[in-house]
A and B are shown apart, each in its own frame.
Chain A
Amino acid sequence: EVQLVESGGGLVQPGGSLRLSCAASGVTLSRHDMSWFRQAPGKGLEWVSTLISTDEPFYADSVKGRFIISRDSFRNTLFLQMNSLRAEDTAIYYCARKIGYGYGSDYWGQGTLVAVSS
């Protein structure tokens, strides 16, 4: 059974940093496209970043230059390093797997809450 478990969220001051983790079991992350999505309180879904299986990253304009997506194949874990955090980054962050070209994101974690506030 595929499981994705996010961690690392919390309360941080504007300008601060956090690193989110997404630990996977039942799936080898390096074989798939892995993404981060977020959802601000009471709002809709927003795509944040994707690391495709060839290790090429893609970012939303709103986070480009501030966030870095990466993965550790040995630990089978996806990361999102978030720097220069802003109030508008406050959201639940989800990691998700996309099995391959043409498919949707089929497995999602439960989410981790990031709150940026002074």
Chain B
Amino acid sequence: DIQMTQSPSILSASVGDRVTITCRAGQSISSWLAWYQQRPGRAPKLLLYKASTLESGVPSRFSGGESGTEFTLTINGLQPDDFATYYCQQYNAYPWTFGQGTKVEIK
């Protein structure tokens, strides 16, 4: 199985901040990585796929990067709606695997 190591587990930030979440794959997954946002009591929402392609309707303050097996999700200018939990997921190979999640909370 491909292990996905996501950090940090919790991120405290303020509205307007630039924040970055990192996800490291245990082996090459090409660019087959997605990022999801999940608010409490809600289903996950796809933000980006193929590491850096923004899903339709997602604000441009969200962006994704990659360098080898390390992937990043950056939010430029945190908004109140962005306080949520974020997950990375690889879909390069079955079984698909998720990172442990990063909770972005208000500082």
The interface residues of chain B lying within 8 Å CB-to-CB of A94 are 43-44
- Contact present for A104 and B87 (CB under 8 Å): no
Which residues of B lie under 8 Å from residue A46 when comparing CB positions? 98
Q: How far is the CB of A107 from chain B (nearest CB, A)?
A: 8
A1 interfacial by beta-carbon distance below 8 Å:
no
Number of chain A residues close to chain B: CB under 8 A = 22
Query: Which stretch from B10-18, B19-27, B69-77, B88-96 is at the chain A interface?
Result: B88-96
A-contact 0/1 string along B19-47, CB 8 Å cutoff: 00000000000001010101000011110
How many A-B residue pairs lie within 8 Å, measured between CB atoms? 56
Closest to B96 in A: A47
| Chain A residues with CB under 8 A of B97 | 47
Q: A44-B100, A104-B55, A106-B55 are in contact. Are A50 and B46 (CB under 8 A)?
A: no
Contacts A45-B44, A47-B95, A94-B44; A102 near B49 (Cβ below 8 A): yes
Q: Nearest Cβ distance between residue B50 and chain A, in whole angstroms?
A: 6
Closest partner residue, chain A, to B98 (CB atom) = A45
CB distance from A47 to the nearest CB of B (A): 4
Interface of A toward B, CB cutoff 8 Å: 35, 37, 44-47, 50, 58, 60-61, 94, 96, 98, 102-106, 108-111
